[in-house]
Amino acid sequence: MSETEFTPDERIDITDVNCPITFVKTKVALDELENGQILQVHLNDGEPIQNVPRSVREEGHEVLKITDNSDGTFELFIRKNEE
């Protein structure tokens, strides 16, 4: 079974910060990308994985994929969309 893989244009690690800073850092990173580019976010389980994808969607961006790393962290792939 093959999964669609995404080649991120930028990567950030937000495992060292807590909500709401997790979304703030993600938003800043997205602001630096061009429309259509992909951001990979390395984040923790719990509030970050619950809140960041929801907030990103509310901003109009596309959550492409969420991968569970089985170590309490996740990889979140986001396509930047301009509204």
Catalytic residues: 19
Distance between CA atoms of residues 31 and 33, nearest Å = 6
In the chain, helix, strand, coil percent, each to 5? 30, 30, 40
Helix (H) or strand (E) run with residue 38 in it: strand 38-44
Report H helices in 14-46: 21-31
